[in-house]
Structure 1
Amino acid sequence: MSFNNIIGHEKINNRILRAIRLDKFPNSHIIVGEDGIGKSIIAREMAAAILGKNEIRQCTDILEYKLSKNKKSIGIDEIKSIIEETNKKPYEGNKKVVIVYNSESMTEAAQNAFLKTIEEPSNGVYIILLCEKLDNILDTIRSRCEVHKLNRLKDDEMDKFLDYKFPSLSYEDKKAVISFSDGIPGRAEKFIEDSSLHDIRNITIELLKKSQEENIQFIFKYEDFLFKHKEEWDEILTCILSYIRDVFIYKETGQKNLLINSDKFNDIKLIGEMFSFNKLNIIINIIKITRKKLKNNVNVKLVFDDMLLKMQEV
């Protein structure tokens, strides 16, 4: 197993493989990164490498635990079930890998119950916890695991990923996907396969063009759309910032070929004529503040309304 199918995260992948080959691989790990960044792919590749498999496939000694659809947290009963499995002997060889998804959703009691197993797993048992943030993982758990932090892919890595995954994608579409995905492969796949994200891309540039209209209808028109897509708030804000980035470039160079969203050239040009550099920077700060509020779980509708009002006042 060489992690050849994984694009990006090269240093982490090499470190994992080296430790496995030298038989110096810790038994407990945390892989942390945003949704769609590649945590599950790396975890499965890691599991295959631990078990000496040449390919990822269904294997009785790779156990995957996911948060139930009707539950918001992983409780102590689920953890007891996992612990029970770790105490059973492997079926095929002498090693077993347990992958726990959404591990940040474990309750504090569940984490405390899991602590001893993570600290001293049964012989040949490897535990891999996947999470988006470390904040909700107890320090006692973190300190007993090797932590692998996955960062967003660079543009050239995203380009390589799209060539591999969607070879028929046009150059213009690829640039738009790279812009929208913001270095997250899963977001790129979702953009290509989910038509609602195309709507977000079209509406957000319209929002920028209409933001200087001095009437309340501007708020009414876009607040409904934004609230409807509240689960994709990060994609919405990323899209707006991407367009502003292109407006900056156009105002400085006048070159269409330098734009990420070159298919929206006429819109970018119009927005560039509407806003000064100073006003664009104000909008960027508005978006940053909006993102911070939404990350802190402030009421979505109130945050979007405030964003629209402030953009209208620029």
Structure 2
Amino acid sequence: MKRIGVLTSGGDAPGMNAAVRAVVRKGIYHDLEVFGIYNGFQGLMEGKIEKMELGSVGDMIQRGGTMLYSARCEEFKTDEGQNKGIEQLKKFEIDGLIVIGGDGSFQGAAKLTAKGFPCIGVPGTIDNDIPGTDYTIGFDTALNTIVEAIDKIRDTATSHERTYVIEVMGRDAGDLALWAGLANGAETVVIPEKDEPFENVVDRLKRGSERGKKHSIIILAEGVGNGMDYGKRIEESTRFETRVTVLGHIQRGGRPTASDRVLASRLAGKAVDLLLEGQGGLMVGIQNNELVHHDIIDILKQPHKLDMSLYQLMNELSI
């Protein structure tokens, strides 16, 4: 293997730049030529490919977003689109590809590997919803962004004696909501993995009010429902003054935490090692603080599992 490529795909996540940096610098350290592919799989099909040098990734480890940009690409889900991508890889004589992204990005990597082109997936998504790894790149930063925002909202909730519903990201996974709820001392967390009866939420709020509690925080994962609608239901059922905050894309931005920078560097470095070994069709991850790798097809077949012991602990602490 003499030339490798790297791209970022899907939603951006803090730490992606640290991962790209690690791919480029470790690749060059091992005498590889490294090519950056811009705008994800869309850019791959269009040949938006440039050779990267050490300086290409200078002053990048601390920056959020992705310097290679990202794009969602429906065409790449087709055989024709995948063949276009492979043609470009052959044109630039690239021998292996590292794909940084979430499950949709891994689907693309798996398709290329099935067509004979070795790819390694690096999990980069704030949702932390990829099986086979304890943490994904960007999760820790997004979590800290949420925690900081809720700390500030709590000041206003206390001052005005209000109930706040805070909608966070997590379409199919409740990790961000659950971890933020535990870190912020929320009264209730509503997540896709747990069917929490609305009546239970209302009862908990009323019990808190009866013992003199002046404000409450409810964290809602976006995959469960609309924050504005949920807040309206809360106010109608309790008669408590209720406000709603939808944190939105602020959760994806910002400087990556030290934890995400280190995680990104470790995972990307492992991905380069696997390509150097001639392997493909794999995903790298971290479990019990040890770097691991799995067959990417097997991983895509597995459901994401939330640590429900954290959910139980949060409920015990929010009585």
TM class by smaller structure: 0.3 to 0.5
- The TM-score with structure 2 as length reference comes to 0.37
Q: Which has the larger Rg?
A: 1
- The TM-score with structure 1 as length reference comes to 0.38
Structure with greater proportional strand content: 2
Structure with greater proportional helix content: 1
